[in-house]
Structure 1
Amino acid sequence: MGADTFTRVAFGKTADEAFSNARKEAEEWHGSRPYTGSIKEKDSFTKIPEREYKGKDRRKFAGELIAEGDDRIDSKWGPAGAVSLKGTQEASQYRENNNLKGKHGAVWLFFGWAPC
């Protein structure tokens, strides 16, 4: 069994709710098939402190953590990483595309390795 990287954007009133929403969407997409290489395989996440990515492109930052083998997200069996997309064009676009304008909550980017 191998591993693959993933990124997944999701919305929620809290990061926990966004993570749950991301997993549910992945489960709908992949069905009951195991080891999809997606967020579906994750059962937890680690919030990366904003001070580490403030002013940076969030997707690029996530890709760098994956490429560098950052200990917090480097295991296919461990937690996913999470960064807030608050204040980004990607968050605005996600809200618009998903009819979330004006709703309380935040858009999050989850990423890491998952078994496939």
Structure 2
Amino acid sequence: MKRQLAEQRGRRAEDEAARLLEGHGWNILARRHKTKVGEIDLVAKREGLVAFVEVKWRQRAADLDLAIDERRLARVAAAAESVAHEYATDGEDIRIDVILLAPGSQPRHIENAWMP
């Protein structure tokens, strides 16, 4: 039951993040793209740029600072690298973004969160 609730919250958070990106002119190309090395929550494209977006939702805004770490970002980066050629087909730049969400707080969009 706990796992199902977490899954539902995750999907709602991804929907909210997609709406946020779309409101800023991004086109959502994919949701929950599974690769051999991990899953990418959202793939978005805008003006010569493709963003592979990790979405994190927490019950409390105070917990958002601990929601993402180098290990998780490295996994997203590896997944993005494995499929970048599918999305960046016209020489677009690519980056890894993070969107952090919690009830009662403004969404935080961290652009270019992964810089190895």
**Is TM more than 0.5 here?**
no
Structure showing the higher strand proportion among its residues: 2
With structure 2 as the length reference, what TM-score do the two structures score?
0.31
**Higher RCO, 1 vs 2 (CA within 8 Å, ≥6 residues apart):** 1
With structure 1 as the length reference, what TM-score do the two structures score?
0.31
